[in-house]
A and B are shown apart, each in its own frame.
Chain A
Amino acid sequence: MPKVLIVDDEPHIRYLLELTIEELEADGVLLLTADNGETALEIIQAEKPEIVFLDVMMPKMSGFDVCNAVKSSPDLSDTYIVLLTAKGQEFDKQKGQDVGADIYMTKPFNPDDVLNKAREVLGL
């Protein structure tokens, strides 16, 4: 069963992403969520989702840290990671590349872009 993980500390963003991806539940996709970096990493290790939508700005463990941890562990490095950054917020593209993120999207995200990306990665 293909899995998608959504990670954001802001409940409304998490909810919007959930609503967006929910459309894929009909294709048998399992939707997972986390509201902080540590939980996200635990879920990634336990569930091995194919794609993670990962907020950058989170207290304690940031999206960069989670991404770095995932991409540097051999059995998880295939995980496709979409970094989410807020519009207008200073985003270090170089750092995004350094930690191995696959792409990044800016919030407010276009729901269609998110859905298309998830479909593409999951091959749906």
Chain B
Amino acid sequence: MAQITLGTLIRKKLFAPLAHRLVLALETPILIEDLAGEPLIATDGAIEGVRYPVIVQGDTIGWVQGNEKAELLASLLAYHSEREVERKNLGSETLHKYKEITLLYDMADKIPACMERSEIIAILTEQIRQAIRFSGLSVILLDKESGKLEVAASLGNEYALGTVIEPVGIMASVWASGKGEIINDVHADQRFVQRPYRVSSLMCAPLKSKESTVGIIEISSAEPTVYAAEDLKLFSTLASQAAVQMENSVLYLELKNAFYTMVYTLAETIEKRDPYTGNHTKRVMEYSLAVGRTIGMSEDELIRLELAAVLHDIGKIGVRDSVLLKQGKLTDDEFHQIMQHPELGGQILSRIPQLQDIIPGVVQHHERFDGKGYPEGMAGEQINLAARIIAIADTFDAMTTDRPYRRGFSFEEAFEEVRRNSGTQFDPKIVDAFFETDVMEAFFRASANLKLRAAPR
């Protein structure tokens, strides 16, 4: 309920001159005082007569002293004050609604960009914190695999993070009914089950998207609080927005996973044709990534580098077995056929919109820094950075791998080869980075997990 003092009313910019003129127009001694007896408006000379109270909704907010005209003025001020209080009440409701709108706007603005569950929860709790008073908050999510409810976020006095919860009491009925609830006096609720922390009032809503309920959010207050129906409405709206986004993010991740799995499967398919290459793709990927990290590539660049490294030999699918698997020296014509594979790879990938960025890394991985490579004969930094990295990783691995017709180099010899070809075959800067990189660690990582990784970072 809004309150008003006679002082603020009379000092109002537009009302103040009117009030003064009115008092003068009455042509009789008048004194207007606030509740504490401080004079607000007074005519000159002695004031006598009755002190009439200005009463607003049963409360006295000030006095008007004088003859019977003063009573009239007191009534007028009371009427005006009453209107002012009503206006303020309506106003605070309007403001409250307006604040809700800004919160929802804000939420709608921020949340679609969130693909991480933790980000979504962070935004949800922040929006709720701005709108509703509470001393504790917890977000409890259903783990689909275990079927258990686990505390995924917690603020203030609430369940600890990571606690696995058996839904009991009020939470259980919200979970079962899928409908939010306000319990302003938990101790009067028969369903209430004692908590390890103090709670007097709480509000609990399901995190629900269309059909499925992904979790529960609860806020509680240690001191008795009155949560209103409109609080629950906002609370539930924010919760369901978050729930929908959580579901979207899961779908997005599944889709991304499926895509990566396809890519890796494609790469493995090629490898299966040539059993002697063993784990080549995986090692080229690990070497390339390690070098990429050494030169400080961004997360996005690393993802593209990884995909290009995994798919660098994809074009070999178009090279006949008799050529690809031939043991011994290749004829010029056969060698020409092998040399087609980077471009073939580019052609295959050109049909996949999500992989356009990595095509140069695949097509150019046999280009040489001195311009004597293929297919284009590009030179220097004209060659795509990922391709310059993959070139070293690919050659290094080919050198260190045993083939039926020859034994592989030792790592030492291979490193020496890389150094010897710096500035001719390879970009000297990348060679330096390669030497700075813990190549052995990358090698062991590739060997440790022989299956190609099928999950995005």
Give the chain A neighbours of B8 by CB distance below 8 A: 25-26
User: B13 is contacted by which of A20, A26, A32 (Cβ under 8 Å)?
Assistant: A32
Q: With an 8 A cutoff between CB atoms, is A123 at the interface?
A: no
| CB-based contact B101/A108 at 8 Å | yes
Give the chain B neighbours of A30 by CB distance below 8 A: 11, 13
CB distance from B20 to the nearest CB of A (A): 15
Q: With an 8 A cutoff between CB atoms, is A65 at the interface?
A: no
| CB-based contact A19/B95 at 8 Å | yes
A26 to B9 CA separation, bound complex (whole angstroms): 10
Give the chain B neighbours of A120 by CB distance below 8 A: none
The DSSP consensus for interface residues of chain A is helix
Q: With an 8 A cutoff between CB atoms, is A110 at the interface?
A: yes
Q: With an 8 A cutoff between CB atoms, is A31 at the interface?
A: yes
In the complex, residue of chain A having the shortest beta-carbon distance to the beta carbon of B9: A25
In the complex, residue of chain A having the shortest beta-carbon distance to the beta carbon of B96: A111
Q: Number of A residues contacting the other chain (C-beta, 8 Å)?
A: 16
CB distance from A19 to the nearest CB of B (A): 4
What is the count of residue pairs linking A and B with beta-carbon distances less than 8 angstroms? Answer: 37
CB distance from B6 to the nearest CB of A (A): 12
| CB-based contact A31/B13 at 8 Å | yes
Mask: chain A, 74-97; 1 = CB below 8 Å from B; 0 = not: 000000000000010000000000
CB distance from B12 to the nearest CB of A (A): 8
The DSSP consensus for interface residues of chain B is helix
CB distance from A49 to the nearest CB of B (A): 11
| CB-based contact B5/A111 at 8 Å | no
| CB-based contact A111/B99 at 8 Å | yes
In the complex, residue of chain A having the shortest beta-carbon distance to the beta carbon of B98: A16
| CB-based contact B88/A26 at 8 Å | no
Give the chain B neighbours of A16 by CB distance below 8 A: 94-95, 98
Q: With an 8 A cutoff between CB atoms, is A22 at the interface?
A: yes
Q: With an 8 A cutoff between CB atoms, is A109 at the interface?
A: yes
Mask: chain B, 58-101; 1 = CB below 8 Å from A; 0 = not: 00000000000000000000000000000010011011001101
A20 to B92 CA separation, bound complex (whole angstroms): 8
Given A26-B5, A87-B105, A111 contacting B11 (CB threshold 8 A) = no
A104 to B27 CA separation, bound complex (whole angstroms): 50
| CB-based contact B88/A22 at 8 Å | yes
| CB-based contact A20/B11 at 8 Å | no
Within 1-17 of B, Cβ neighbours of A (below 8 Å) are at: 5, 8, 11-13
CB distance from A10 to the nearest CB of B (A): 13
A19 to B93 CA separation, bound complex (whole angstroms): 10
Jot down 13 A-B pairs with beta carbons below 8 A, ordered by A. A16-B95, A19-B92, A22-B91, A25-B8, A26-B5, A26-B8, A31-B12, A109-B102, A110-B102, A110-B130, A111-B95, A111-B98, A111-B102
